[in-house]
A and B are shown apart, each in its own frame.
Chain A
Amino acid sequence: MLAVTVNSGAVVLVGAVFLACAVEMVEALTIVVAVGHTRGWRSAFEGVAVALLALVALVAAFGPALVHVPLTTLRLVVGGVLLIFGMQWLRKAILRSSGLKAKHDEDEIYRETVAELEAAPKSAGRDYVGFMMSFKGVFLEGLEVVVAVLTLGTSAHRLGLAALTAAVAIVLVIIVGVIVAKQLSSVPENAMKMTVGVMLVSYGTFWTGEGLKVRWPGNDTMLLGLVALYLVVSWCFVALLKNSSVTNEVAA
């Protein structure tokens, strides 16, 4: 029973962190590859290095501070943040799956970034346009990874496991990115976002409850029940939206 309790919490944590990091890193990698191909790899890598340093500084500043916050307060705040964040992801994924919103197309983003970079004039010496584009891409996407790792890791008392999972996801995305280079569009991003959204909302619900002293039946095992519930609900929403689109088309 104890093994089941410990594992279900850890499995959801690892799954949520891994998929969230992978999705964000695919987006960052698309920008870095575009910068590298159009403005040169030096400015692209410099942007990546400075962004990573800034992210490490943020983790070093806020990580230890979060550990000192009382667990009940931390879980309530983190639960609330994850609930909002998760519902935002899930809403977007549902709209994309039902065809109401265009899917995230990495090829299109790559083409747009390349066009933008080619239009910008090249300066002599250090290329600030390429550097800034690469920096912003990695820093902004990385910031979401940092928030996910810190909030999920500290609340579950498994910051080490969350950080390790994030590192594995980032390394894997880089390796796969180097191998497939321009085929990042073949990554099933929307399905991954849907899964992350479900996991974040499940964690958000669970910790909001813990922060408000709700005693969940089965403790951590309840997380799996919440994941199942939100998966079914998301599937129903997608089916309903698809159905209403067909009805509207027939009526028109």
Chain B
Amino acid sequence: MSKQSNIVIRIVKGFFMFWWDFLVGDTPELFVAALVIIGAVFLVSERHHLNTTAIWLLPLLAVAALGTSVYRAQRGIRKK
């Protein structure tokens, strides 16, 4: 493999590693939660046109995700 293609592979790998660390990192549950939130609000808002439900559902799910992640971290720290 040429030196140039090696550099390209390293740059592409570095790019994806950055986004992986940035979005997933050590809190994969928050990444999954964000996808679930988007999916749920899409169903409520775009499919069923329930705007009022979407207004309270979005922050409620975000608070639930944050609470779950904090609780998981607390349990992990206590076990150590």
Which A residues fall within an 8 A CB radius of B?
Answer: 76, 80-81, 83-85, 87-88, 90-91, 94-95, 100-101, 143, 147, 201, 204-205, 208-209, 212-217, 226, 229-230, 233, 237, 241, 244, 248
A212:B38 contact, CB within 8 angstroms? yes
Which residues in window 22-73 of B have CB below 8 A to A? Answer: 22-23, 25, 27, 30-31, 33-35, 37-38, 41-42, 45-46, 51, 54-55, 58-59, 62-63, 65-67, 69-70, 73
| CB contact between A100 and one of B54, B66, B77 (< 8 Å): that residue | B77
| CB contact between B70 and one of A83, A95, A147 (< 8 Å): that residue | A95
| CB contact between A143 and one of B18, B31, B70 (< 8 Å): that residue | B18
B37:A83 contact, CB within 8 angstroms? yes
What does DSSP make chain B's interface, helix, strand, loop or mixed?
A: helix
Residues A88 and B45 in contact in the complex (CB < 8 Å), given A83-B34, A94-B70: no
Residues A87 and B62 in contact in the complex (CB < 8 Å), given A94-B70, A216-B55: yes
B6 at the interface (CB under 8 A from A): no
| CB contact between B58 and one of A85, A87, A91, A209 (< 8 Å): that residue | A209
A88:B25 contact, CB within 8 angstroms? yes
What's the Cα separation between A233 and B31 when bound, in Å?
A: 20
Which B residues fall within an 8 A CB radius of A?
Answer: 18, 22-23, 25, 27, 30-31, 33-35, 37-38, 41-42, 45-46, 51, 54-55, 58-59, 62-63, 65-67, 69-70, 73-74, 77-78
Residues A214 and B55 in contact in the complex (CB < 8 Å), given A80-B38, A209-B41: yes
What's the Cα separation between A90 and B59 when bound, in Å?
A: 14
| CB contact between B54 and one of A81, A204, A209, A230 (< 8 Å): that residue | A209
10 A-B residue pairings within 8 Å (CB atoms): A85-B22, A85-B23, A88-B27, A91-B66, A94-B66, A212-B41, A214-B41, A230-B62, A237-B70, A248-B78
| CB contact between B34 and one of A84, A100, A229, A241 (< 8 Å): that residue | A84
Residues of B within 8 A of A216 (CB): 55
Closest to B35 in A: A80
Closest to A84 in B: B34
| CB contact between B62 and one of A83, A213, A237 (< 8 Å): that residue | A83
Given contacts A233-B66, A237-B67, A241-B70, 20 further A-B pairs with CB under 8 A are A76-B38, A80-B35, A87-B34, A87-B66, A88-B25, A88-B27, A91-B27, A94-B66, A100-B74, A201-B66, A204-B62, A208-B41, A208-B58, A209-B41, A212-B42, A213-B46, A214-B54, A217-B55, A229-B63, A244-B74
